[in-house]
C-alpha cells in the first residue's frame, strides 16, 4: 500500500469537474484507492465519495492506493493534483 498527502491547489477546490477527472483517472487502474480528509475516508473511485469530502482550495488530503498497479495510480493522481486538474495556470 502507498500513501501520500496531497494538497488541493486549484482555484476552485475539489469541485464536481475536478472530482470527475480524479475518479475517471483512478478508475482506469485495478488497485483500490481511497481519499482521507476532514476525518473521513472515501472511495476515490466514487464521484459521490470524493464530493462528500468538500475539499476547498488549500485542503490537505491523503491518497491511499493498494494493489498491483498502485505505483502507477499514485504517480498519475499526483500529476493530476500538481497540474491543478488542468483548470488554471
Q: Annotated catalytic, 15?
A: yes
> Does the pLDDT value for residue 7 go beyond 80?
yes
Range of the domain at 50: 2-86
| pLDDT value of position 88 | 67
Q: In this structure, what CATH number is given to the domain that contains residue 24?
A: 3.30.1340.10
Mutual angle of helices 70-82 and 16-27, in 10-degree steps: 160
Of 29, 27, 23, which Cα lies nearest the Cα of 69? Answer: 29
8-state DSSP, 84: G
* DSSP codes, 19-73: HHHHHHHHHTSSSEEEEEETTEEEETT-HHHHHHT---TT-EEEEEEESTTHHHH
- 12-70: pLDDT as tens digits: 999 999 999 999 999 999 999 999 999 999 999 999 999 999 999 999 999 999 999 99
- Given 15, 37, 65, 85, which residue is catalytic? 15
| pLDDT value of position 82 | 95
Tally of domains in the chain: 1
Provide the whole-model pTM: 0.94
| pLDDT value of position 87 | 85
Amino acid at each position: 500500500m502507498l500513501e501520500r498527502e496531497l494538497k488541493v491547489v486549484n482555484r476552485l477546490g475539489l469541485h464536481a469537474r475536478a472530482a470527475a477527472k480524479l475518479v475517471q483517472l483512478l478508475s482506469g487502474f485495478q488497485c483500490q484507492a481511497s481519499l482521507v480528509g476532514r476525518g473521513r475516508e472515501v472511495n476515490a473511485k466514487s464521484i459521490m465519495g470524493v464530493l462528500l469530502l468538500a475539499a476547498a482550495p488549500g485542503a490537505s488530503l491523503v491518497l491511499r492506493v493498494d494493489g498491483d498497479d498502485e505505483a502507477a495510480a499514485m504517480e498519475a493522481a499526483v500529476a493530476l493534483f500538481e497540474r491543478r486538474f488542468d483548470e488554471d495556470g
